[in-house]
Amino acid sequence: MSDEKRKWLGGPVQNIPMSWVLRHCEGATRQGVSVEAVLQDSLIEPFYGDDRDQVSFDQFGLLMLNTARWLEDESSGLGQRPIPSGLSTLAAHVALGCSTLEYAIRAIAQLYRSTDIHFGVVADGDDALVAVHANEAVGGPRAYMLEDLFADFIFGVMSYFLARPLPLRTHQTRDPLHANLNGRHWGTFAPVHHARIAGLRIPRSLLAAPRVNQGSDQVWWHMLQSWVALADGHGALAEQRFVSVEDLRVDTLAAAAGVSASTLRRQMTRSHGGFRAVRRKLVVDASLQLLRSSSRSTEAIAAELGYADSRSFRRFIKSATGKTPEALRAEPLRTAPPASLLRERLKAAALIMSV
C-alpha cells in the first residue's frame, strides 16, 4: 500500500457489533421477515447473541443489499414510506452525468426530495457538510439508521465520481449510540462525531472537483469493489480508545452535538430509554470489544475506559454480563465465513442492484 493511501486511511477501522446489525434488521422484521433468515442469507451467524459477536465490512454490506432487495425498499424498511428499488442506481447514473461534485450532490438531492431521506450541502468556513436528514416523521433510532445508511451510499457514489476515496474530515451522526462513535466509521472510514446534523464533512474546495469516472452498467459492483479494497486496507478491529466513563456526561455530549442538555436527555429517553441506559450500553460495548480484541491487561483496559481502579471495572462487567473479564476473554472466537464466498455473494447482490 502506498504512503499516500496509508495517510488517508488513518489507521484501522472498527468492525460492527451485533446490536447495530440487529437495529438495521428492525425494518425487515417489521415487514414480517425473519431475522434469522436475513442474517443467514448475509452469512452472519451470531455466536454469543451480544456485542461480542462482531460483523465484518463484507457481511454488513451484504446485509444492507439483501434487506433492500428482499423488501424492494432501498431504505431497508427503516422509513415511513418505501424508497423504490432502482432509485439509488438512477441517482448514481445521474450523478455521473454531472460535471462537478457539487452538481452531482445537488442532482441526487433533487431525486430524493419525495422520499423520507433528504440531502443538502451546507458551507461552513473552509469545510462543506454534505447533510443527510431523515424526515421528522421517521422517529428515533430508525431515523438515525436511515441517515447512516444513506451517508454510506453518498460516500460510495462520490468516491466513484472522483475515482478515489472521498476525503472526509468527519462522519457526523445524530445517534449517541452509533456503533463507531469515537472511532472510525465502518463504511466511510472517517472519525465519527456526535452532532446536531448528520452527514459527511469535506474540504469545501472539493465541491468544484470534476468527474473522473464514467457511468457503468454495473455501477453498484464497481462502487463495492472500491469499498472492499479500502476495507481490506483498514484491517481488523481497532485497538484504540472507544469511550471513557469520564466523557459520557450529558453536558459533554450535548456540547458536541450543538444542543442543550435537556434536549439531549429528551432525545435519549425517546429513542434509547434514557441517558443512564445509553451510558451503560456504551461502556459495556467498549469493554467487550477491548477484552476480545486487545492483549492488554484488565487493569490497562479499566484505566483506558476511565475507571479509577480495576476492581470497579470488574464489578461493573460482572453486573452487566454475569461473567468476569477473564471469563469473557477466554471464550472461544467464532470462525468467520470464507472471504471468497462473501465476495461472491456481494457481487451477485450488487449486480442485481445495478439493474
The answer to which of 5-9, 38-42, 220-224, 312-316 has the lowest mean pLDDT is: 5-9
- Mean pLDDT calculated for residue range 146-166: 93
Distance CA 178, CA 176 (A): 6
**pTM for the full predicted model:** 0.75
**pLDDT value of residue 9:** 32
Cβ 257 vs Cβ 172: under 8 Å: no
pLDDT higher than 70, residue 4: no
Q: pLDDT tier at 3 (50, 70, 90 boundaries)?
A: very low
Distance CA 55, CA 50 (A): 11
The runs of H, that is alpha helices, within the chain are 3-9, 18-30, 35-41, 57-71, 87-95, 101-111, 140-162, 219-234, 250-257, 261-272, 275-293, 298-304, 310-321, 325-330, 339-354
Considering all CA atoms of the chain, what is the largest pairwise distance in Å, rounded to the nearest integer?
60
The answer to which of 77-86, 135-144, 227-236 has the lowest mean pLDDT is: 227-236
- Mean pLDDT calculated for residue range 77-104: 93
pLDDT higher than 70, residue 41: yes
Q: pLDDT tier at 333 (50, 70, 90 boundaries)?
A: low
- Residue 170 CA, chain-centre distance (Å), reads 13
* Greater model confidence, 178 or 258: 178
The top-scoring range by mean pLDDT among 125-139, 189-203, 216-230, 264-278 is 189-203
Q: pLDDT tier at 310 (50, 70, 90 boundaries)?
A: confident
Q: pLDDT tier at 294 (50, 70, 90 boundaries)?
A: low
- Mean pLDDT calculated for residue range 326-354: 79
**pLDDT value of residue 248:** 67
Q: pLDDT tier at 51 (50, 70, 90 boundaries)?
A: confident
- Mean pLDDT calculated for residue range 311-337: 80
C-alpha cell at 128: 462543506
Cβ 117 vs Cβ 147: under 8 Å: yes
